[in-house]
Every structure is written in C-alpha cells, then in structure tokens.
Chain A
Amino acid sequence: MLVFTRKRNEAIVIGDGIEVRVLRVGKDGVRLGIVAPAEVAVHRREIYDAVCAANRSAATTAADASTLAARLRASLPVSTTRPGA
C-alpha cells in the first residue's frame, strides 16, 4: 500500500483524471473530495461490500422461480400488472 501524509487542502492524483483531496480533518473523521471521470464509479468500501454480499446471496438463490412468483403475486401490496409486462 502506498502511504502519504497530506494536510488539509492537499491532494493526490491517481492516473489520468482522478484526484483525492483532503477537505477537512476532524476528531471523528477525514472529509475527502473526489474528482473522477463520469465512467469511474466511486463508492464507500462498506457500501460496496454490502452490495457485493447481497449480489452473491441473490445469485445463489436456487429458488423454484414460478412457485416464488405465485407467492409474490399473492403477497405484494400493489397490483403486479403494468404496461408492457
């Protein structure tokens, strides 16, 4: 891991067009500003990890899809008919 010491308003540049700037240093945390091209996704690690975990558990669903669908049709709060469905 590359380690830098940065003060407030100092930044690092990653590759072509990504900048990470320290906006504020406080007791409870560091506030960072990220500048990145639109096609580069920037996420908080814990949120990204939660989405990974949810996706993995969704993909391993070995459900009988049509049985599950019938139970859903009986349970959902609103009509499941929609245009084009």
Chain B
Amino acid sequence: MTTASAASRPADAVTLPDGLPGFEQCRTFVVMSAPDLAPLTRLQGLDGSQPTFLALDPRLVLPDYDASLSPADRQRLGAAPDDPLLWLALVGLDGQRLFVNLRAPVVINPARMLGLQVVAADSPYSTQHELLLG
C-alpha cells in the first residue's frame, strides 16, 4: 500500500499487512528497543493515527508461554520452521494496574520484516493478563 508516509518510510519498517484490529489503517511500524526501555519494546505506527504501543516478550511474563504459530500464520510471515521470530505482547496501563495481552501477541519475522497479530481461534491466555508490579 502506498501512503503519504511511504517516501519517508525508514528502512527498518516492519509491515503488518492486516494492521492491528482496531488500527487497520496502520500497516507499517518501527520496532524500537533501548537499554532504558528493556524489557519493553516500543512499537511505533507510521500510518494513520500513528499509534504507539509498548510491548514485551510474553515468555518474560509466563516462562512456559506457548510461543508457537499455526502453519497458516507462519506462512503469512514467510517464515521457515527454524526462523527466529520476535514475540511482542502489547501492554496496557490502567492507573497503576498493568495488563499484558497474552491472548493476541504481535509476531514479527525480522528476516522478512513482516508481522501480524495472532488471533488464534482458541487460546488459554487472556487479552488482559494483569501483571503485579513490586
């Protein structure tokens, strides 16, 4: 898709061909990591309302988190079976309460700069997994 921002699109932009549910008009994102941001990652949208998200690897929240993709989703990402993928669970803050969307992680294939938000038909995880901060 060509947009007004396409000309200035950074080389490290990741394309999410379907966008994110609720933000379908935003298809390109930049993934930003910084030492003072770790373990969070910033997902900055470049199109539409240019939404900003904070995210973290769901395996940091639940060490036994099932980070596996359906063959169809793997195909959408153009990922070979042993390609390393970036798993990002979006984080929401409500007052002092922190919620992590473990139900629908954003998965990015760095080799192809392609991503999608996985919305599996069945999942044991919550879209609002509360994280208790010390």
Binding site for B on A (CB under 8 A): 38-39, 41, 43-44, 47-48, 50-61, 63, 65-66, 68-78, 80, 82, 85
Q: A41-B18, A55-B20, A85-B33 are in contact. Are A72 and B39 (CB under 8 A)?
A: yes
The distance in angstroms between the C-alpha atoms of A61 and B91, with both chains bound, is 8
Q: A61-B54, A76-B61 are in contact. Are A68 and B93 (CB under 8 A)?
A: yes
Does residue B51 face the partner (Cβ distance < 8 Å to A)?
yes
Q: Are B21 and A55 in contact (CB under 8 A)?
A: yes
Q: Are A77 and B134 in contact (CB under 8 A)?
A: no
Q: Are A51 and B117 in contact (CB under 8 A)?
A: yes
Q: Are B22 and A61 in contact (CB under 8 A)?
A: no
Does residue B6 face the partner (Cβ distance < 8 Å to A)?
no
Q: A51-B101, A54-B92 are in contact. Are A78 and B134 (CB under 8 A)?
A: no
Determine which of B33, B36, B53, B93 lies in contact with A66 in the assembled complex, contact meaning CB atoms within 8 Å: B36
Q: Among residues 52 to 108 in chain B, which have CB atoms less than 8 Å away from a CB atom of chain A?
A: 52-54, 56-57, 59-61, 63, 72, 75-76, 90-94, 98-99, 101, 103-104
* Majority SS at the chain A contact face: helix
Q: Are A80 and B134 in contact (CB under 8 A)?
A: no
The distance in angstroms between the C-alpha atoms of A72 and B134, with both chains bound, is 8
Does residue B3 face the partner (Cβ distance < 8 Å to A)?
no
B61 / chain A contacts, CB cutoff of 8 Å: 76-77
Further contacts, 9 of them, CB under 8 A, given A53-B22, A55-B117, A66-B37: A51-B21, A54-B92, A54-B101, A54-B128, A57-B99, A63-B54, A65-B37, A65-B42, A78-B59
Q: Are B63 and A73 in contact (CB under 8 A)?
A: no
Does residue B38 face the partner (Cβ distance < 8 Å to A)?
yes
The distance in angstroms between the C-alpha atoms of A70 and B42, with both chains bound, is 15
The distance in angstroms between the C-alpha atoms of A57 and B127, with both chains bound, is 11
B93 / chain A contacts, CB cutoff of 8 Å: 61, 63, 68
